[in-house]
Amino acid sequence: MLTLSDPALLRQQCYLNGQWLHADTDGTIDVVNPADGRIIGTVPRMGTSETRRAIEAAHVAFPEWRARTAKERAAILRRWFELIMANQEDLAVIMTAEQGKPLAESRGEIAYAASFIEWFAEEGKRVYGDTIPGYARDKRIVVTKEPIGVCAAITPWNFPAAMITRKAGPALAAGCTMVVKPATATPFSALALAELGERAGIPAGVFSVITGSSKQIGDEMTGNPLVRKLTFTGSTEIGKQLTAQCAGTMKKVSMELGGNAPFIVFDDADLDAAVEGAVASKYRNTGQTCVCTNRLLVQAGVYDAFVEKLAAAVARMRVGNGLTDEVQQGPLIDEASVQKVEEHIADAVAKGATIRLGGKRHPLGGTFFEPTILCNVTPEMLVAREETFGPLAPIFRFTSEEEAMRMANDTEFGLASYFYTRDIGRVWRVAEALEYGMVGINTGLLSTEVAPFGGVKESGLGREGSHYGIDEFVEVKYLCMGGI
């Protein structure tokens, strides 16, 4: 059992219409700690009927929730934010236990997750409409923004709390209600958020969390006409499938999908800063974030020096159980993830890459993997095209800015990108040339609740965070008044 100051935060039931419930069928799913393979607890295996009930409850709760003033909703969201922060340590322990990331990263994610609730509680008060000068003497035009209605959210395991609050914060602030399906590997973080939401006073039906069959829950969420919006974070493959399913009832969708982030180091870069940024962007969450660097592109003049410095920094990283002090890299989420990293390394080595550091499973066993660096990587290798989602840094070499841009954009993805240079002209040229939704310039970290997070091309649709994020949960209504 986990040691928590408030054991009630480890909820093993689902939260549906303000009640804590087992599945209709009584089936459960084990939730396993990836660091030691032990079962932390179980959650209900829910499906179509429970999802339908949650959606219907969200539909019933919607009129009263939307009728409240933004300030009234904000007061509840503010309490939710404060409760999340007051329970940061317990929530971090739950997260590390089910997800594997080091405790320091879990604490950081809880603060990051809470920030979306705080920020959107405030932003909800500023969902302004518009007045437009009329096109006839007796006409007036007013534009209002209304909450879209019942929203469904499907979230991944790599950020078990933040991917939920980044959706629930703007949805609830705007006056929408929401049903969430968290990833099967990390449901306890979601259920703990629901517990705190209940304590904060979120009314029954406004926010429900359903665990269980992805297929059944996803089919009901995308097929049920009461749902007006689906917001998803996960793989491009599933995102496309869900978008297609939503077409049947023309739901609005937001899709935060896969990436293939380039991290470009130019000859004139501050190499120490670039190394620090590369470590943060590559190895955070054991390389399992959609904005993690997937490809390092380094200019020929600094290639060897950069590799030396990066290898020295990465060699110092401590791998282990995230609950242990000073661990910087936890296990991967599951065996399939380890196999993908192994496959990418084997493919690269077979095509001429060299292993500079790591390259194999960690002596700790299980799903632990050595932080790895590959050199002399070329575009023919799998790592150039596919998101590794693991602690593998493949380093490509380029000579000119044009070549770097060609390589960087040679992907169907377009989420995050990074580059390091000290030339102001190049900063603008490269920032404009990168076909990505986000560009980190001389920084390896760019996520914040105040900025728009999202991708272009096959990395998705829509933006989360910032004032743009709330637009995803409102509809614009045009009122044309005549006879004046």
Residue 315 three-state SS: helix
Nearest to 228 by CA among 376, 62, 454, 470: 62
CA distance 283 to 330: 10
| Contact map string, positions 118 to 157, toward ligand ADP, x by CB under 6 A | ------------------------------------xxxx
CB of 242 or CB of 407, closer to ligand ADP: 242
Question: Which of 80, 297, 288, 275 shows the shortest CA–CA distance to 172?
Answer: 80
For residue 465, give Cα distances in angstroms to 86, 162, 450, 451. 22, 11, 6, 6
Smallest gap from Cβ 390 to ligand ADP, in A, equals 12
Binding mask 180-199 for ligand ADP (x = CB under 6 A): -x-xx---------------
Q: Is-contact 460 235, C-beta < 8 A?
A: no
Output the residue with the shortest Cβ distance to ligand ADP. 218
- Torsional sign, CA 443, 160, 185, 1: positive
Residue 213 beta carbon to ligand ADP: minimum distance, rounded to whole angstroms: 9
Tell me the per-residue interface mask from 239 to 258 with ligand ADP, x by CB under 6 A, - otherwise.
Answer: --xx----------------
Closer to ligand ADP by Cβ: residue 71 or 215? 215
Q: How far is the CB of 455 from ligand ADP (least distance, A)?
A: 14
Q: Which is nearer to ligand ADP, 41 or 234 (CB)?
A: 234
Strand order across the beta sheet in which 150-154 lies: 19-21, 14-16, 207-209, 177-181, 150-154, 227-233, 252-256, 460-461
β 140-147/474-481 pair status: antiparallel
Q: Which of these segments, 5-13, 89-97, 213-221, 467-475, binds ligand ADP (CB under 6 A)?
A: 213-221
In the 8-state DSSP scheme, what is residue 226? Answer: T
Residues 216-235, mask of contacts with ligand ADP (x by CB under 6 A): --x---------------xx
> Judged by CB under 6 A, which of 215, 406, 422, 477 binds ligand ADP?
215
Q: Shortest approach of ligand ADP to residue 447 CB, angstroms?
A: 16
Residue closer to ligand ADP by CB (options 143, 244) is: 244
User: In this complex, which beta carbon is closest to ligand ADP, that of residue 187 or of residue 277?
Assistant: 187
Residue 256 among the catalytic residues: yes
Closest approach of ligand ADP to the CB of residue 338, in Å: 14
d(C-alpha 332, C-alpha 227), whole Å: 34
Cα angle at 233 between 370 and 439, to 5 degrees?
70
Among the options 256, 449, 464, 472, which is catalytic? 256
Our CB check for ligand ADP shows the closer of 194 and 269 to be 194
In angstroms, what is the minimal distance from the CB of 290 to ligand ADP?
Answer: 8
Question: Rounded to an integer, what distance in angstroms lies between the CA atom of residue 341 and that of residue 385?
Answer: 13
Taking residue 301's Cβ as centre, other Cβ atoms within 10 Å add up to 12
Indicate whether 238 belongs to the interface with ligand ADP (CB under 6 A).
yes
Report, in Å, the least distance between residue 94 CB and ligand ADP.
17
For residues 453 and 466, what is the distance between their CA atoms, to the nearest angstrom? 8
Nearest to 202 by CA among 399, 414, 15: 15
Quote the CA–CA distance of 444 and 274 in Å, as a whole number. 8
Residue selected from 214, 378, 409, 443 as contacting ligand ADP according to rule CB under 6 A? 214
State yes or no: residue 307 binds ligand ADP (CB under 6 A). no
Catalytic residues: 256
**Residues binding ligand ADP (CB under 6 A):** 154-157, 181, 183-184, 214-215, 218, 234-235, 238, 241-242
